[in-house]
Structures are given as C-alpha cells and as structure tokens.
Amino acid sequence: MSSAPDAPDPHDSQRTGWLGRVPGELYVLTLIAAVTRFAFLDKPRAIVFDEVYFREYALRYQEGTYYFDLHPPLGKLLLGAWAWLSGTDAAAAGTDPAVALRILPAMAGTALIVVFYLFVRRLSGSRRLATLAGGLLLLDNAILVESRVTTLDSMLLLFGLGAVTLALYARDHRAARSSTYWWLLLGAAVLGAMAASVKLTGLAPLGLVGVLWMLDVWAERRDLRRQVGAVIGQGLMLLLVPIGLYAASFAVHFALLPESGPGDAFMSAEFQATLEGSPTYSPDADLGFVGKFTDLNSSIHLYELSLNDSSHPYESSWTSWPVNKRGVFLYVADAGNEKSNYIYVLGNPVVWWGTLLGGAVVLVGWALRRERFRPYRWSLGFLAFAWVADYLPFALIERPMFLYHYFFALLFSLAFVVIGLGVLTGWIKEGPRPFTFDSRVSAVGFWSVLGVAALAFLYFAPITYGTPLTPAELESRMWLSTWR
C-alpha cells in the first residue's frame, strides 16, 4: 500500500482535527448510542450466558481467591475495579447478576460509536459518511447485545479501534519531531496493548498500528538518516509499551489473587505452592513474576489446545460469519402468558447482509470507475488489508468460535462499504453544509439506508432487549433455519 494521501488534505475543514470542534451529528449519535445501550440495562435481573464467568472473575479480586481464564486479565481487572467503584459486593452470589457491572461494557459500547465516526471521517474526509457509518454500527443488534451484558467484547472493540484511529490521526502530524505525532502514537500503542491484554484477538489492531507506523517511516525514508534517532525511539515505544502493559496486567492480577481458589487445578504444583490456603502452600515458595507469568500463559495455551476437540451448540465456522449464519442464544426465561424472554446475539441483517452485498458492489464499481476511486485508493486499500489481517487468521483456529469473533472484521468491512458507496453515489463530496444533498434522489437514498436499517433494528429489538415474545413471534424472526 502506498502511503500517499488518500483523500482531501487531512487539514481540510471537512476533516475532524485532533480535539477540534465537535460536530452536531456526533452529539446525536452519542445520545442515541447511550440510550440504546443503557435502556433497561437492569433487565433481566438474572445472569446472562458468559456473565456467569466474568461477573465471578471481577468479584474475585475483592476476595483475593485465584481463578483461571483463557483470556489475559486486563478486561476482568477493569470489571473488578468498576465493581469496587460501584460498591458491588463480592458477597453477591447465586442468581444475583450484579447488574452494576453491565454499566462498564455499556459505556464502552457507547464510546465505540464515537470512535467509529472519527475512524470513518479520518479515512473519508466526510462528515456525512462518518454519520452513516456510525448510524449503521449503532443499529447493529449483535454488537449492541454484547455492549449490554458483563462481557469483554465492547471494551475489546473500543480499545482496538481506538488504537487504529489514533494511529491514523497521527499520520496528519507525521514529522518525526512533532510532539503531537509522538503523543498520538503513544496513545495508539497504549490502546492497542489494552486490546491485546483484554483478548489476544486484540493483537490484530495492535499490528495495524505497527503497519501504519512503518508506512510513515517509509514515507519519510529520504530523511531517514537525519531522523534515525526518532524512528528508533518510536519503534522501541511501539514494542516496549505493549509488552510492558501486557506484563503489568498480569503483575496486578497475581498481586490481587494471593489465595487459593477454583483456578488452582489449572496451574502447576510450583504455582499452587505460592497460593495461601492451598494444600501444597509453602511460605518459602517463590516462583517470581516471570515464573508465574510463564506458568499461566503456558496453562492458557494448553487449555486452548484441549478445546480443539470440543463443540458448542452456538459455535459457527469462520466462513459463515460474514453471512450472519449462526447467532448465539444468551438467555431464555418464561415470562408468563405463553410468552418468554429471549436474548440473542444476532447481527442486524440489513447491516450484515448489506455490508456483504455492498462490498461486491464497491469492488465492481471500483473496477469500472477507477478514476473516481483514485483519491480514495489508500483508504479503501487499508480497510481491505485490515479486514484480511483480522479475519483470515481465524482459519487457523480449531477450537469452537462464535459470531462475535467477526466484530473487528465487520467494522473494517462496514467502513469499506460506506466509503466505497459514498464514492459511487457522490455522498462523499459535501459542501459547508454536509447534510444538504445535490439532489432529492441522493438525499432519499442516503436516509433510506439508515431508515431500513432502523426498521430492521426495531424488528429484532425484542431478542436484543429480552422483550417477551410468543413462540410464533420468535419464529417470525428466525429468518434462517440456522438461527433456531
């Protein structure tokens, strides 16, 4: 990929300058995102699917009893910190869902819409397209569900996309001596490290940050000899900050869990000997941080290998994710009057299938109208690369996987389609009043996309929020046999 400018000048008034004036539409998107994510957040007052694990992990930091999980600890540490700040008592047990813990994922899910707006605006130079992209993401039911329960995915997406977005904005200040460039690059490294420290799938956006930095270095290669010190410093920062933050999350994790707990059995005898209350505990045992870090990461790897021969009723193959073939039932309960409450991780068909169809349209249009796409080749090329870099590695994983593993790839493909369609329709070109269109047809087309997505969102909202449905009403929403 060339590092040449991909659209109008990055300092053009149509782009969002770093910490510049906040446009009105971003306030609207933020408000709607907050309402959809926080509404009825205390429903159901029951533990939903993987909440049984993450709720327990978060509260164990108050007890100090050791647990085991196959993901790095940062996400659970953040939930644990939020539990402490919100006054959630570790004694909350049994069927108490500790609904206050859902607030943190909901905040992350709200912020994700803001970051996605900034991401698409930086790549397209268009407030109009950034609004369309943010609106479509806001209306996706699958990401909404994962933003309303005590799980890690909304935090993962926020940190990962935030890292890539900061790295893109850093390119507007890519002179090696620019302090703004250094700070934005540092922010990208920190957020990328946080993503990888929540789930290892966060390594993909962290890698994209590195790719963007290397493109910056390549663009300035003629001055490399004069700026070699700055380049080495930046490279070390991008390497050492993620390693340091990843290791630090484990250090805090170990420090807060000094006592024997349900995770003991997954660890080596040497590790168990360091846990107070363990049958093999020895006050003289000293595995050290490096030893504990190696032991836990080895145990995680072995556990993941043990899952290769397992199965799950809601698992789906990586090839089926783009077509939204198989969702994940999170919750079902009798609501009385022959109705039940259902919560289902299922993508908005208009967003998911529209993105798949739109991608094909954009590729054909690009092939037929190359000149029109020329100013945006870099942006679209980067998004295609990001999609491949995030999506294809899943082909190598043998253990059960689920629809939510496709979320990062969905973000990149949705941005690709919105920008590509913007080029084909002319929506990408806007004047001082970005929501004044060249023609009535163009305006109707733009708002119709959001309108149809909104109608689909509302239709599937009952299985997003757990609104009581009869069996017939649920069946009417099972458009594919694989959704049942």
Of 17-26, 46-55, 98-107, 339-348, least confident by mean pLDDT is 17-26
What's the per-residue H, E or C state across 57-69?
Answer: HHHHHHHCECCCC
Q: What is the mean pLDDT of residues 24-32?
A: 96
**Residue that is written with structure tokens 């991401």 in the block:** 119
Report the pLDDT value the prediction gives residue 12, as an integer from 0 to 100: 41
List helix spans (H) across 91-202: 103-124, 127-138, 141-146, 153-170, 179-198
Report the pLDDT value the prediction gives residue 94, as an integer from 0 to 100: 60
For residue 477, count CB atoms less than 10 angstroms from its CB and return exposed for 0-12, middle for 13-18, buried for 19 or more: middle
Distance of alpha carbon 292 from alpha carbon 277, whole angstroms: 17
Helices 103-124 & 127-138 angle (0-180, nearest 10): 150
- In sign, the C-alpha dihedral spanning 444, 445, 446, 452 is positive
| pLDDT tens for each residue of 90-140 | 776 566 788 899 999 999 999 999 999 999 999 999 999 999 999 999 999
Tokens read off for 118? 């900034």
| Residue 472: C-alpha distances to residues 223, 340, 468 (Å) | 68, 11, 12
Q: What is the mean pLDDT of the chain?
A: 92
| pLDDT tens for each residue of 192-220 | 999 999 999 999 999 999 999 999 888 88
Report the pLDDT value the prediction gives residue 350, as an integer from 0 to 100: 98
Give the list of residues 6+ apart from residue 389 with CB closer than 8 angstroms, or none: 204, 207, 208, 211
Give the list of residues 6+ apart from residue 332 with CB closer than 8 angstroms, or none: 340, 341, 342, 343
| pLDDT tens for each residue of 308-350 | 989 999 999 999 999 999 999 999 999 999 999 999 999 999 9
| pLDDT tens for each residue of 417-442 | 999 999 999 999 988 899 999 999 99
Preceding amide of 44 cis, omega within 30: yes
Report the pLDDT value the prediction gives residue 6, as an integer from 0 to 100: 44
pLDDT at 13 over 70: no
pLDDT at 15 over 70: no
Model confidence at 403, pLDDT cuts 50, 70, 90, reads very high
pLDDT at 405 over 60: yes
DSSP secondary structure code for residue 7 in this structure: S
Report the pLDDT value the prediction gives residue 173, as an integer from 0 to 100: 86
What percentage of residues in the chain have a pLDDT greater than 90?
83
Tokens read off for 475? 């069946």
- DSSP states of 393-447 as a string? GGGG--S---GGGGHHHHHHHHHHHHHHHHHHHSTT---SSTT--SSHHHHHHHH
Report the pLDDT value the prediction gives residue 208, as an integer from 0 to 100: 98
List helix spans (H) across 171-262: 179-198, 203-219, 228-256
Give the list of residues 6+ apart from residue 352 with CB closer than 8 angstroms, or none: 140, 142, 322, 323, 324, 410
Give the list of residues 6+ apart from residue 199 with CB closer than 8 angstroms, or none: 71, 72, 75, 152, 156
Model confidence at 176, pLDDT cuts 50, 70, 90, reads low
Report the pLDDT value the prediction gives residue 216, as an integer from 0 to 100: 87
Distance of alpha carbon 408 from alpha carbon 412, whole angstroms: 7
Model confidence at 14, pLDDT cuts 50, 70, 90, reads very low
Q: What is the mean pLDDT of residues 348-356?
A: 98
CA atoms within 13 A on the CB side of 307: 14
Strand ranges for 307-360 from DSSP E: 328-336, 339-345
What percentage of residues in the chain have a pLDDT greater than 70?
94
Q: What pTM, to 2 d.p., does this model score?
A: 0.94
Model confidence at 484, pLDDT cuts 50, 70, 90, reads confident
φ/ψ (deg, to 5) at 345:
-80, 100
Report the pLDDT value the prediction gives residue 1, as an integer from 0 to 100: 45
Distance of alpha carbon 147 from alpha carbon 135, whole angstroms: 16
| pLDDT tens for each residue of 449-469 | 999 999 999 999 999 999 999
Report the pLDDT value the prediction gives residue 8, as an integer from 0 to 100: 44
Distance of alpha carbon 356 from alpha carbon 406, whole angstroms: 13
pLDDT at 4 over 50: no
Report the pLDDT value the prediction gives residue 95, as an integer from 0 to 100: 64
Report the pLDDT value the prediction gives residue 11, as an integer from 0 to 100: 36
| pLDDT tens for each residue of 365-385 | 999 999 999 999 999 999 999
- DSSP states of 354-402 as a string? HHHHHHHHHHHHHHH-HHHHGGGHHHHHHHHHHHHHHHGGGGG--S---
Model confidence at 10, pLDDT cuts 50, 70, 90, reads very low
Report the pLDDT value the prediction gives residue 167, as an integer from 0 to 100: 97
